[in-house]
Amino acid sequence: MDINLEGRVAVVTGGSRGIGAAIAKAYAEAGAKVVITARKPEGLEKAVAEIGGDVHAIAAHAGKAEDAERVVAETVEKFGRLDVLVNNAATNPYMGPVIDAELPAWDKTFEVNLRGPLVWAQAAYRGWMKEHGGSILNVSSIDGLRAGGPLAIYGVTKSALIFLSQQLATEVGPNVRVNVIAPGLVKTDFARALWEGAGEDAKYPWPLQRLGRPDDIANAALYLASDAASWVTGNVFVVDGGASLGGPFSS
């Protein structure tokens, strides 16, 4: 399938590394102009150089409404449109049972992982998509599909993000589509604690037996942003090598 994003403009939060950078690269290679955001300017500058293509950086905090509004306004002013929003930024300051969690960790995780996607979706919708259409893609996790994993608060936020995405899909159609990608365990710095030490040739207890790569998620994100997915909204695309069929649940 030849997917072309020529003439499109995308914003990818958490775009300086890992899955976000891979999505930005896939979009740029398909012809889109891409704005990536993250908190640290130095990380953004490095990412722009590594990704290549028509990629631009704006420093912003994923959980702050004022930053979302600023980035959307700057994007529309610079490029004249905003067709695709990818809410990829996430945090996970706590690993362990919810019952033992400190409230500051709970609040921080919800601010970035759930409040963040809402405020960015609102900013994109009000700033461009309500009148012109577009696509919103929220990056969740297979930890949001069932309880019992080690990343308890993270999983709660990712489960809520799925519901939020489906609710938004019912509200903003037919001109705006909202979908979700739920990755499994992907080899990124964000998930390093879950895979480090296993070895390069490690086989994992799920059908495809390997870790995910950022490109695995980027390929799904490219499809969902394109016209090939023009009749797809409110869906959760699981990209996990079969991990959700059984075995440890990690992301």
Catalytically annotated residues: 154
Question: At residue 93, what is the residue type?
Answer: P
Where do the H-state alpha helices sit in the chain? 18-29, 41-51, 65-79, 103-110, 116-124, 130-132, 152-172, 192-195, 214-225
Strand partners, 179: 137
Question: At residue 179, what is the residue type?
Answer: N
Contacts for 45 with CB less than 8 Å, ≥ 6 apart = 57
**Separation in Å, CA 236 to CA 99, 105, 161, 209:** 28, 27, 11, 22
Q: In the structure encoding, which two tokens stand for residue 18, read together?
A: 């890992």
Q: What does 119-173 look like in DSSP terms, one character per residue?
A: HHHHHHIIIIIHHH-EEEEEE--GGGTSS--SBHHHHHHHHHHHHHHHHHHHHHT
